[in-house]
């Protein structure tokens, strides 16, 4: 009798564990490598595209970033790069073509800055 009860308890435990593995989502580990130096290629201000001469966005391998004197850490969360320091947190969208689009509300309205990683930074030095 005791062995039957132990077998049922073990079977219930196995069923619960298998359900837990199916239900619990996978962790959102940082899988995309976005580290590198990104040059600002365009700015959109009030819907108008303007040339950009802003400082580059530098994403380091150790999870730190630099942008116009602003330094902090970054984390890749799905299609977003979350930039943060002790006071401020924002996120930028990762887009195809090694682009990062940072949108923020500036003094003159919505600003969209488009940063692009250079091909030479990706390891490709020849055009062939």
What does the pLDDT look like over 17-76, one tens digit per residue? 454 455 555 544 445 789 999 999 999 998 889 989 889 999 999 999 998 888 999 999
In whole angstroms, what is the distance from residue 74 CA to residue 71 CA? 10
Could you tell me which residues are beta bridge partners of residue 39? 116
Question: What are the Cα distances from residue 118, in Å, to 4, 28, 43, 61?
Answer: 67, 27, 17, 16
Residue with tokens 């299609």: 79
Which domains are assigned to the chain? Answer: 36-122 (2.40.128)
In this prediction the pTM is 0.66
Whether the CB-CB separation of 74 and 82 falls below 8 Å is answered with yes
């Amino acid at each position: 009798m005791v062995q039957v009860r132990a077998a049922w308890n073990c079977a219930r435990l196995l069923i619960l564990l298998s359900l837990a593995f199916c239900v619990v989502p996978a962790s959102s580990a940082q899988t995309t490598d976005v580290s590198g130096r990104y040059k600002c290629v365009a700015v959109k201000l009030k819907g108008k595209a303007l040339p950009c001469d802003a400082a580059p966005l530098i994403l380091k391998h150790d999870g730190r970033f630099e942008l116009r004197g602003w330094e902090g850490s970054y984390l890749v969360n799905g299609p977003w790069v979350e930039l943060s320091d002790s006071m401020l947190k924002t996120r930028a969208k990762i887009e195809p073509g090694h682009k990062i689009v940072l949108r923020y509300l500036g003094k003159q309205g919505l600003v969209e800055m488009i940063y692009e990683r250079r091909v030479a930074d990706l390891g490709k030095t020849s055009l062939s």
